[in-house]
A and B are shown apart, each in its own frame.
Chain A
Amino acid sequence: DTAVSQTPKYLVTQMGNDKSIKCEQNLGHDTMYWYKQDSKKFLKIMFSYNNKELIINETVPNRFSPKSPDKAHLNLHINSLELGDSAVYFCASSQDVVGVEGYTFGSGTRLTVV
């Protein structure tokens, strides 16, 4: 069983489209995250949710909207996609909001905007 699963794995879309990425964890963790990894492999936190409550909302364009219907799911919807949104997006989870035990990452969604 995959602990943190993301779909889709690859996403190729045109500028201006709207797309969603889904994430699910079966670890019973309370906290989930979205990270963006750019072409230089730099990882940046976008959002985190603890038990469906938004905890971290970094400086992200409001075209990005996370949704957590329950603590096992965290989805990311992106409106009006731009070329600069091309990146790998990782979902992760941790036991609690402090994250002292570390994160479990999904395998990533490679988004390409053309």
Chain B
Amino acid sequence: AQSVTQPDIHITVSEGASLELRCNYSYGATPYLFWYVQSPGQGLQLLLKYFSGDTLVQGIKGFEAEFKRSQSSFNLRKPSVHWSDAAEYFCAVGLSGTYKYIFGTGTRLKVLA
């Protein structure tokens, strides 16, 4: 069955440090891939997306993600984290032909001043 795994439930980084959030998926074909961010009490906001082309995609707020087909991964990165990046991050996979997304269970990011 298709699945999305975010192995890290919580991550804590210091402000200014680099960040990498992991996402792995299980799906036969190349899916549509997304990262969303959810601040407390808010809805989800799209950070970036991939469905074809350059495997390194740039998003908003200085985030980027790299699709690695061989590893079935779509990891999110940021070179220097700001305190305002503290939030919950969700990886999502769109299954072509089904009109459905599957969301990962989320990674909560804490930023230390």
Contact = CB atoms under 8 A, between A and B. Distances in A.
Given A41-B88, A108-B42, A102 B49 contact: yes
Interface string A75-114: 0000000000000001010000111111111111000000
A15 interface: no
Interface residues of B, number: 22
Interface string A19-58: 0000000000000000000001111110010100001100
Contact of A90 (B32, B43, B88, B106): B43
Interface string B9-47: 000000000000000000000001010101001111110
Contact of B42 (A42, A50, A107): A107
Interface string B38-65: 1001111110010100000000000000
Contacts of A72: none
Given A42-B105, A100-B51, A100-B94, A56 B100 contact: yes
Size class of the contact patch on chain A: 20 to 34
B99 A99 contact: yes
A86 to B, nearest CB: 16
A4 interface: yes
Contacts of B41: 107-108
Nearest to B38: A41
Most buried by A among B34, B49, B99, B100: B99
A103 B99 contact: no
9 contacts: A4-B43, A42-B103, A43-B90, A50-B99, A56-B100, A90-B43, A90-B44, A99-B32, A107-B41
Interface of B: 32, 34, 36, 38, 41-46, 49, 51, 88, 90, 94, 96, 99-101, 103, 105-106
